[in-house]
Structure 1
Protein backbone atom coordinates (compact mmCIF):
# COMPACT_ATOMS: atom_id res chain seq x y z
CA UNK A 1 0.00 0.00 0.00
CA UNK A 2 1.14 3.54 -0.68
CA UNK A 3 3.14 5.04 2.18
CA UNK A 4 1.06 7.42 4.24
CA UNK A 5 -2.20 6.40 2.60
CA UNK A 6 -4.25 3.59 4.07
CA UNK A 7 -7.51 2.01 3.05
CA UNK A 8 -9.35 -0.99 4.41
CA UNK A 9 -8.60 -4.04 2.30
CA UNK A 10 -11.21 -6.64 1.36
CA UNK A 11 -11.87 -9.12 4.18
CA UNK A 12 -11.71 -12.44 2.38
CA UNK A 13 -11.83 -15.86 4.11
CA UNK A 14 -8.92 -18.18 3.33
CA UNK A 15 -11.12 -21.19 2.54
CA UNK A 16 -13.25 -19.96 -0.33
CA UNK A 17 -15.05 -22.58 -2.39
CA UNK A 18 -14.87 -22.49 -6.17
CA UNK A 19 -18.19 -21.69 -7.79
CA UNK A 20 -19.80 -21.45 -11.21
CA UNK A 21 -20.97 -17.94 -12.02
CA UNK A 22 -23.80 -19.25 -14.21
CA UNK A 23 -25.54 -20.51 -11.06
CA UNK A 24 -26.49 -16.91 -10.33
CA UNK A 25 -28.95 -16.96 -13.22
CA UNK A 26 -31.08 -19.59 -11.44
CA UNK A 27 -31.48 -17.46 -8.31
CA UNK A 28 -34.51 -15.24 -7.79
CA UNK A 29 -32.11 -12.53 -6.63
CA UNK A 30 -28.54 -12.55 -8.03
CA UNK A 31 -26.28 -13.19 -5.02
CA UNK A 32 -22.76 -14.52 -4.58
CA UNK A 33 -20.98 -15.00 -1.26
CA UNK A 34 -17.86 -16.74 0.10
CA UNK A 35 -16.65 -18.13 -3.20
CA UNK A 36 -14.05 -17.83 -5.96
CA UNK A 37 -14.84 -17.56 -9.67
CA UNK A 38 -11.98 -18.26 -12.10
CA UNK A 39 -11.42 -18.51 -15.86
CA UNK A 40 -14.97 -17.63 -16.88
CA UNK A 41 -16.56 -15.61 -19.69
CA UNK A 42 -19.68 -13.66 -18.66
CA UNK A 43 -20.08 -11.19 -21.53
CA UNK A 44 -23.12 -9.16 -22.64
CA UNK A 45 -25.32 -10.14 -19.68
CA UNK A 46 -27.78 -8.03 -17.65
CA UNK A 47 -27.24 -8.79 -13.96
CA UNK A 48 -28.72 -5.75 -12.28
CA UNK A 49 -29.10 -5.32 -8.51
CA UNK A 50 -26.64 -8.15 -7.83
CA UNK A 51 -25.09 -8.63 -4.39
CA UNK A 52 -21.48 -9.86 -4.07
CA UNK A 53 -19.91 -10.45 -0.65
CA UNK A 54 -16.51 -12.01 0.07
CA UNK A 55 -15.84 -13.06 -3.53
CA UNK A 56 -12.69 -13.30 -5.64
CA UNK A 57 -12.93 -13.05 -9.43
CA UNK A 58 -9.78 -14.14 -11.26
CA UNK A 59 -9.29 -14.24 -15.04
CA UNK A 60 -12.97 -13.49 -15.65
CA UNK A 61 -14.37 -11.57 -18.63
CA UNK A 62 -17.33 -9.25 -17.91
CA UNK A 63 -17.25 -7.32 -21.19
CA UNK A 64 -20.35 -5.19 -21.75
CA UNK A 65 -22.12 -6.62 -18.68
CA UNK A 66 -24.77 -4.54 -16.90
CA UNK A 67 -24.25 -4.52 -13.12
CA UNK A 68 -26.43 -1.47 -12.44
CA UNK A 69 -27.16 -0.85 -8.73
CA UNK A 70 -24.75 -3.58 -7.70
CA UNK A 71 -23.89 -4.03 -4.00
CA UNK A 72 -20.32 -5.26 -3.49
CA UNK A 73 -18.46 -5.68 -0.21
CA UNK A 74 -15.14 -7.48 0.27
CA UNK A 75 -14.55 -8.33 -3.38
CA UNK A 76 -11.36 -8.75 -5.43
CA UNK A 77 -11.12 -8.60 -9.22
CA UNK A 78 -7.74 -9.86 -10.47
CA UNK A 79 -6.76 -9.92 -14.14
CA UNK A 80 -10.38 -9.41 -15.17
CA UNK A 81 -11.81 -7.60 -18.20
CA UNK A 82 -14.75 -5.33 -17.41
CA UNK A 83 -14.54 -3.23 -20.57
CA UNK A 84 -17.75 -1.24 -21.14
CA UNK A 85 -19.38 -2.81 -18.08
CA UNK A 86 -22.09 -0.71 -16.41
CA UNK A 87 -21.83 -0.43 -12.62
CA UNK A 88 -23.72 2.84 -12.31
CA UNK A 89 -25.54 3.60 -9.04
CA UNK A 90 -23.54 0.83 -7.36
CA UNK A 91 -22.39 0.48 -3.76
CA UNK A 92 -18.79 -0.73 -3.80
CA UNK A 93 -16.92 -1.07 -0.52
CA UNK A 94 -13.66 -2.77 0.42
CA UNK A 95 -12.91 -3.83 -3.15
CA UNK A 96 -9.72 -4.28 -5.15
CA UNK A 97 -9.30 -4.14 -8.91
CA UNK A 98 -5.83 -5.49 -9.75
CA UNK A 99 -4.34 -5.86 -13.23
CA UNK A 100 -7.78 -5.33 -14.72
CA UNK A 101 -8.98 -3.91 -18.03
CA UNK A 102 -11.65 -1.30 -17.30
CA UNK A 103 -11.98 0.52 -20.61
CA UNK A 104 -15.13 2.61 -20.63
CA UNK A 105 -16.49 1.20 -17.35
CA UNK A 106 -19.40 3.21 -15.96
CA UNK A 107 -19.20 3.87 -12.20
CA UNK A 108 -21.39 6.97 -12.45
CA UNK A 109 -23.67 7.95 -9.56
CA UNK A 110 -22.09 5.23 -7.43
CA UNK A 111 -20.60 5.14 -3.95
CA UNK A 112 -17.05 3.78 -3.66
CA UNK A 113 -15.34 3.42 -0.29
CA UNK A 114 -12.00 1.76 0.51
CA UNK A 115 -11.47 0.77 -3.11
CA UNK A 116 -8.12 0.36 -4.87
CA UNK A 117 -7.33 0.27 -8.58
CA UNK A 118 -3.87 -1.26 -9.03
CA UNK A 119 -2.12 -1.43 -12.40
CA UNK A 120 -5.42 -1.11 -14.26
CA UNK A 121 -6.26 0.27 -17.69
CA UNK A 122 -9.33 2.45 -17.12
CA UNK A 123 -9.22 4.83 -20.06
CA UNK A 124 -12.57 6.46 -20.87
CA UNK A 125 -14.08 5.22 -17.60
CA UNK A 126 -16.79 7.33 -15.98
CA UNK A 127 -17.13 8.30 -12.33
CA UNK A 128 -19.43 11.26 -12.97
CA UNK A 129 -21.69 12.23 -10.06
CA UNK A 130 -20.11 9.51 -7.93
CA UNK A 131 -18.93 9.65 -4.31
CA UNK A 132 -15.39 8.37 -3.70
CA UNK A 133 -14.00 8.08 -0.17
CA UNK A 134 -10.67 6.45 0.62
CA UNK A 135 -10.00 5.38 -2.95
CA UNK A 136 -6.60 4.99 -4.60
CA UNK A 137 -5.65 4.79 -8.26
CA UNK A 138 -2.17 3.22 -8.26
CA UNK A 139 -0.01 2.86 -11.39
CA UNK A 140 -3.07 2.93 -13.63
CA UNK A 141 -3.99 4.50 -16.95
CA UNK A 142 -6.99 6.83 -16.67
CA UNK A 143 -6.73 8.68 -19.96
CA UNK A 144 -9.88 10.66 -20.81
CA UNK A 145 -11.68 9.35 -17.72
CA UNK A 146 -14.67 11.36 -16.50
CA UNK A 147 -14.85 12.65 -12.92
CA UNK A 148 -17.49 15.30 -13.62
CA UNK A 149 -19.18 16.62 -10.47
CA UNK A 150 -17.63 13.99 -8.19
CA UNK A 151 -17.41 14.13 -4.42
CA UNK A 152 -13.83 13.13 -3.54
CA UNK A 153 -12.62 12.51 0.01
CA UNK A 154 -9.23 10.98 0.83
CA UNK A 155 -8.63 10.00 -2.79
CA UNK A 156 -5.12 9.59 -4.18
CA UNK A 157 -3.90 9.32 -7.75
CA UNK A 158 -0.43 7.71 -7.59
CA UNK A 159 1.95 7.31 -10.53
CA UNK A 160 -0.97 7.16 -12.94
CA UNK A 161 -1.64 8.57 -16.40
CA UNK A 162 -4.45 11.12 -15.99
CA UNK A 163 -4.06 12.84 -19.35
CA UNK A 164 -7.23 14.56 -20.56
CA UNK A 165 -9.21 13.57 -17.43
CA UNK A 166 -12.33 15.66 -16.86
CA UNK A 167 -12.49 17.10 -13.32
CA UNK A 168 -15.09 19.73 -14.21
CA UNK A 169 -17.19 20.78 -11.18
CA UNK A 170 -15.13 18.50 -8.92
CA UNK A 171 -13.26 20.01 -5.97
CA UNK A 172 -9.69 18.70 -5.73
CA UNK A 173 -8.82 20.14 -2.32
CA UNK A 174 -6.52 17.66 -0.55
CA UNK A 175 -6.29 15.41 -3.61
CA UNK A 176 -2.71 14.41 -4.50
CA UNK A 177 -1.87 14.17 -8.22
CA UNK A 178 1.80 15.11 -7.80
CA UNK A 179 3.19 11.79 -9.06
CA UNK A 180 0.88 11.55 -12.07
CA UNK A 181 1.57 12.36 -15.72
CA UNK A 182 -0.62 14.42 -18.02
CA UNK A 183 -0.37 16.95 -20.84
CA UNK A 184 -3.76 18.50 -20.20
CA UNK A 185 -6.66 18.32 -17.77
CA UNK A 186 -10.21 19.57 -17.98
CA UNK A 187 -10.43 21.51 -14.74
CA UNK A 188 -11.27 24.97 -13.44
CA UNK A 189 -8.91 27.06 -11.34
CA UNK A 190 -11.49 27.08 -8.55
CA UNK A 191 -11.49 23.27 -8.49
CA UNK A 192 -7.68 23.22 -8.19
CA UNK A 193 -7.69 25.17 -4.92
CA UNK A 194 -5.87 23.00 -2.37
CA UNK A 195 -4.90 20.28 -4.87
CA UNK A 196 -1.46 18.73 -4.20
CA UNK A 197 0.76 19.02 -7.28
CA UNK A 198 4.46 18.83 -8.09
CA UNK A 199 6.53 21.94 -8.78
CA UNK A 200 6.66 21.05 -12.48
CA UNK A 201 2.89 20.67 -12.60
CA UNK A 202 2.45 23.98 -10.78
CA UNK A 203 4.43 25.75 -13.50
CA UNK A 204 2.18 24.18 -16.11
CA UNK A 205 -0.97 25.36 -14.33
CA UNK A 206 0.54 28.83 -13.94
CA UNK A 207 0.94 29.16 -17.68
CA UNK A 208 -2.74 28.35 -18.13
CA UNK A 209 -3.68 31.59 -16.37
CA UNK A 210 -1.17 33.65 -18.33
CA UNK A 211 1.69 33.81 -15.84
CA UNK A 212 5.25 33.88 -17.16
CA UNK A 213 7.40 31.74 -14.89
CA UNK A 214 11.11 32.57 -14.78
CA UNK A 215 13.53 29.77 -13.93
Structure 2
Protein backbone atom coordinates (compact mmCIF):
# COMPACT_ATOMS: atom_id res chain seq x y z
CA UNK A 1 0.00 0.00 0.00
CA UNK A 2 1.33 3.43 -0.95
CA UNK A 3 2.01 6.02 1.72
CA UNK A 4 -0.53 8.77 2.29
CA UNK A 5 1.23 12.04 1.53
CA UNK A 6 -0.60 15.34 1.62
CA UNK A 7 0.42 17.93 -0.94
CA UNK A 8 0.70 21.24 0.91
CA UNK A 9 0.61 24.72 -0.56
CA UNK A 10 3.45 27.21 -0.07
CA UNK A 11 3.29 29.26 3.10
CA UNK A 12 3.84 32.86 2.02
CA UNK A 13 4.09 35.87 4.31
CA UNK A 14 1.57 38.68 3.80
CA UNK A 15 4.31 41.28 3.51
CA UNK A 16 7.09 40.69 0.98
CA UNK A 17 9.99 42.94 0.03
CA UNK A 18 10.36 43.92 -3.61
CA UNK A 19 13.81 43.07 -4.95
CA UNK A 20 15.30 44.22 -8.24
CA UNK A 21 19.00 43.38 -7.79
CA UNK A 22 18.45 39.63 -7.47
CA UNK A 23 21.86 38.57 -8.79
CA UNK A 24 23.75 40.83 -6.37
CA UNK A 25 21.61 39.61 -3.46
CA UNK A 26 22.24 35.96 -4.35
CA UNK A 27 26.00 36.39 -4.60
CA UNK A 28 26.20 38.45 -1.41
CA UNK A 29 23.81 36.47 0.80
CA UNK A 30 23.37 33.20 -1.13
CA UNK A 31 19.68 33.59 -0.29
CA UNK A 32 16.46 35.29 -1.31
CA UNK A 33 13.90 35.37 1.50
CA UNK A 34 10.52 37.03 2.14
CA UNK A 35 10.64 38.66 -1.27
CA UNK A 36 8.57 39.45 -4.35
CA UNK A 37 10.48 39.37 -7.62
CA UNK A 38 8.61 40.32 -10.78
CA UNK A 39 9.06 41.53 -14.34
CA UNK A 40 12.82 41.03 -14.51
CA UNK A 41 15.45 38.82 -16.16
CA UNK A 42 17.85 36.82 -13.99
CA UNK A 43 20.90 35.91 -16.03
CA UNK A 44 24.08 33.87 -15.68
CA UNK A 45 23.99 32.83 -12.01
CA UNK A 46 26.18 29.81 -11.29
CA UNK A 47 28.63 28.26 -8.84
CA UNK A 48 26.53 29.26 -5.84
CA UNK A 49 24.22 27.26 -3.60
CA UNK A 50 21.07 29.34 -3.19
CA UNK A 51 18.37 29.35 -0.54
CA UNK A 52 14.95 30.55 -1.73
CA UNK A 53 12.55 30.89 1.18
CA UNK A 54 9.06 32.42 1.23
CA UNK A 55 9.24 34.07 -2.20
CA UNK A 56 7.05 34.80 -5.18
CA UNK A 57 8.54 35.08 -8.65
CA UNK A 58 6.21 36.60 -11.26
CA UNK A 59 6.86 37.20 -14.96
CA UNK A 60 10.52 36.42 -14.41
CA UNK A 61 12.92 34.91 -16.96
CA UNK A 62 15.87 32.82 -15.81
CA UNK A 63 18.66 32.45 -18.37
CA UNK A 64 21.84 30.37 -17.99
CA UNK A 65 21.19 29.81 -14.28
CA UNK A 66 22.69 26.90 -12.36
CA UNK A 67 20.99 26.44 -8.98
CA UNK A 68 22.36 22.97 -8.29
CA UNK A 69 22.22 21.89 -4.64
CA UNK A 70 19.79 24.67 -3.71
CA UNK A 71 17.17 24.80 -0.96
CA UNK A 72 13.78 26.02 -2.22
CA UNK A 73 11.02 26.30 0.39
CA UNK A 74 7.60 27.99 0.23
CA UNK A 75 8.10 29.48 -3.21
CA UNK A 76 5.70 30.30 -6.06
CA UNK A 77 6.87 30.70 -9.66
CA UNK A 78 4.09 32.25 -11.74
CA UNK A 79 4.31 33.05 -15.47
CA UNK A 80 8.05 32.45 -15.37
CA UNK A 81 10.45 31.11 -17.99
CA UNK A 82 12.79 28.61 -16.34
CA UNK A 83 13.81 26.72 -19.47
CA UNK A 84 17.09 24.79 -19.08
CA UNK A 85 17.42 25.81 -15.45
CA UNK A 86 19.43 23.44 -13.25
CA UNK A 87 17.76 22.47 -9.96
CA UNK A 88 19.53 19.11 -9.76
CA UNK A 89 20.54 17.69 -6.36
CA UNK A 90 18.25 20.24 -4.67
CA UNK A 91 15.46 20.17 -2.11
CA UNK A 92 12.08 21.64 -3.08
CA UNK A 93 9.45 21.92 -0.33
CA UNK A 94 5.99 23.42 -0.84
CA UNK A 95 6.74 24.89 -4.26
CA UNK A 96 4.35 25.80 -7.09
CA UNK A 97 5.10 26.34 -10.77
CA UNK A 98 2.05 28.01 -12.33
CA UNK A 99 1.86 28.71 -16.06
CA UNK A 100 5.61 28.38 -16.34
CA UNK A 101 7.95 27.34 -19.13
CA UNK A 102 10.29 24.60 -17.95
CA UNK A 103 11.59 23.12 -21.20
CA UNK A 104 14.73 21.11 -20.48
CA UNK A 105 14.68 21.95 -16.77
CA UNK A 106 16.73 19.67 -14.51
CA UNK A 107 15.41 18.26 -11.25
CA UNK A 108 17.50 15.07 -11.28
CA UNK A 109 18.74 13.68 -7.94
CA UNK A 110 16.45 16.11 -6.08
CA UNK A 111 13.83 15.72 -3.35
CA UNK A 112 10.44 17.18 -4.30
CA UNK A 113 7.99 17.45 -1.42
CA UNK A 114 4.56 19.05 -1.99
CA UNK A 115 5.51 20.41 -5.42
CA UNK A 116 2.89 21.37 -8.02
CA UNK A 117 3.33 21.96 -11.75
CA UNK A 118 0.15 23.58 -13.07
CA UNK A 119 -0.56 24.64 -16.67
CA UNK A 120 3.16 24.50 -17.42
CA UNK A 121 5.33 23.39 -20.33
CA UNK A 122 7.79 20.82 -19.01
CA UNK A 123 8.96 19.17 -22.24
CA UNK A 124 12.34 17.40 -22.02
CA UNK A 125 12.57 17.97 -18.26
CA UNK A 126 14.70 15.58 -16.24
CA UNK A 127 13.53 14.14 -12.90
CA UNK A 128 15.73 11.02 -12.98
CA UNK A 129 16.83 9.55 -9.63
CA UNK A 130 14.73 12.05 -7.69
CA UNK A 131 12.38 11.38 -4.78
CA UNK A 132 8.72 12.41 -5.05
CA UNK A 133 6.94 12.97 -1.74
CA UNK A 134 3.77 14.56 -3.07
CA UNK A 135 4.18 15.87 -6.62
CA UNK A 136 1.24 17.09 -8.70
CA UNK A 137 1.23 17.67 -12.46
CA UNK A 138 -1.95 19.37 -13.65
CA UNK A 139 -2.79 20.52 -17.18
CA UNK A 140 0.87 20.40 -18.15
CA UNK A 141 2.91 19.23 -21.12
CA UNK A 142 5.63 16.78 -20.09
CA UNK A 143 6.39 15.26 -23.46
CA UNK A 144 9.75 13.49 -23.69
CA UNK A 145 10.51 14.08 -20.02
CA UNK A 146 12.53 11.61 -17.94
CA UNK A 147 11.24 10.08 -14.70
CA UNK A 148 13.70 7.20 -14.67
CA UNK A 149 14.37 5.52 -11.30
CA UNK A 150 12.33 8.07 -9.34
CA UNK A 151 11.46 6.98 -5.81
CA UNK A 152 7.73 7.61 -5.80
CA UNK A 153 5.76 8.12 -2.60
CA UNK A 154 2.97 10.12 -4.23
CA UNK A 155 2.51 11.29 -7.80
CA UNK A 156 -0.73 12.90 -8.99
CA UNK A 157 -1.48 13.38 -12.69
CA UNK A 158 -4.38 15.37 -14.11
CA UNK A 159 -4.64 16.07 -17.86
CA UNK A 160 -0.93 15.71 -18.52
CA UNK A 161 0.76 15.05 -21.86
CA UNK A 162 3.26 12.28 -21.16
CA UNK A 163 3.90 11.20 -24.74
CA UNK A 164 7.39 9.73 -25.23
CA UNK A 165 8.24 10.22 -21.56
CA UNK A 166 10.40 7.69 -19.69
CA UNK A 167 9.18 6.02 -16.47
CA UNK A 168 11.45 2.98 -16.34
CA UNK A 169 12.52 1.96 -12.85
CA UNK A 170 9.74 3.98 -11.15
CA UNK A 171 7.07 2.21 -9.11
CA UNK A 172 3.68 3.47 -10.29
CA UNK A 173 1.24 1.75 -7.94
CA UNK A 174 -1.92 3.89 -7.45
CA UNK A 175 -0.82 6.42 -10.08
CA UNK A 176 -3.82 7.34 -12.27
CA UNK A 177 -2.99 7.83 -15.96
CA UNK A 178 -6.58 7.64 -17.19
CA UNK A 179 -6.98 11.28 -18.29
CA UNK A 180 -3.42 11.65 -19.56
CA UNK A 181 -1.87 11.13 -22.98
CA UNK A 182 0.73 8.33 -22.83
CA UNK A 183 1.53 7.59 -26.48
CA UNK A 184 4.97 5.94 -26.87
CA UNK A 185 5.61 6.13 -23.12
CA UNK A 186 8.54 4.03 -21.87
CA UNK A 187 7.91 1.80 -18.83
CA UNK A 188 8.14 -1.82 -17.79
CA UNK A 189 5.57 -4.40 -16.71
CA UNK A 190 6.88 -4.66 -13.17
CA UNK A 191 6.69 -0.88 -12.68
CA UNK A 192 3.03 -0.47 -13.71
CA UNK A 193 1.62 -2.98 -11.22
CA UNK A 194 -1.28 -1.25 -9.46
CA UNK A 195 -1.36 1.76 -11.80
CA UNK A 196 -4.65 2.90 -13.36
CA UNK A 197 -5.21 3.02 -17.12
CA UNK A 198 -8.17 3.23 -19.47
CA UNK A 199 -9.08 0.20 -21.58
CA UNK A 200 -7.56 1.81 -24.67
CA UNK A 201 -4.36 2.65 -22.80
CA UNK A 202 -4.16 -0.87 -21.39
CA UNK A 203 -4.52 -2.40 -24.85
CA UNK A 204 -1.66 -0.24 -26.08
CA UNK A 205 0.49 -1.37 -23.16
CA UNK A 206 0.12 -5.03 -24.15
CA UNK A 207 3.16 -4.34 -26.35
CA UNK A 208 5.18 -4.69 -23.14
CA UNK A 209 4.21 -8.36 -23.09
CA UNK A 210 5.01 -8.88 -26.75
CA UNK A 211 1.36 -9.51 -27.53
CA UNK A 212 0.01 -8.73 -30.99
CA UNK A 213 -3.74 -7.96 -31.02
CA UNK A 214 -5.42 -8.38 -34.40
Answer yes or no: same fold by TM over 0.5.
yes
* Whole-Å separation in 2 of the counterparts to 1:182 and 1:207: 13
Q: What are the residue-to-residue correspondences of 1:180-195 with 2, within 5 Å?
A: 180-195=180-195
Instruction: Give the whole-Å Cα distance in 2 for the aligned partners of 1:31 and 1:25.
Output: 5
1:5-84 equivalence runs, <5 A: 7-20=7-20, 21-27=22-28, 29-46=29-46, 48-84=48-84
Q: 5+ unaligned residues in a row in structure 1: which ranges?
A: none
- Map of 1:107 onto structure 2: 107
Query: What is the deviation of 1:49?
Result: 1.2
Aligned to 1:130: 130
- State the shift of 1:26 in Å: 4.7
Q: Deviations over 1:15-67 (max 9, x none)?
A: 2121121331451x411111100011012321531001100000111123100
Instruction: Give the TM-score, by structure 2 length.
Output: 0.92
Q: 1:154 to 1:25 in 2, by over 3 A?
A: closer
Q: Which runs of 5+ in 2 are unaligned?
A: none
Q: Give 1:154 shift.
A: 1.4
Moved more, 186-195 or 38-47: 38-47
Distance apart, 1:158 and its partner CA: 1.0
Post-superposition offset of 1:213: 5.9
Whether contact under 8 Å (2:86, 2:105) holds in the other structure is yes
Superposition TM-score, scaled by structure 1 size: 0.92
Are 1:175 and 2:163 counterparts? no
The answer as to 2:85 corresponding to 1:85 is yes
User: In the aligned structure 2, how far is the partner of 1:137 from the partner of 1:115?
Assistant: 9
1:150 corresponds to: 150
Structure 1 consecutive aligned stretches of length 4 or more whose deviation exceeds 3 Å: 210-214
Question: What is the aligned residue count?
Answer: 209
Q: CA deviation at 1:14?
A: 1.6
Q: Cα distance, 1:199 vs. partner?
A: 2.1
1:81-114 Cα offsets, whole Å, 9 max, x none, are: 1111111000000000000000000100000000
Which structure ranks higher in relative contact order (CA pairs < 8 Å, sequence separation ≥ 6)? 2
The answer to whether the 8 A contact 1:30-1:47 is kept is no
More off after superposition, 161-170 vs 198-207: 198-207
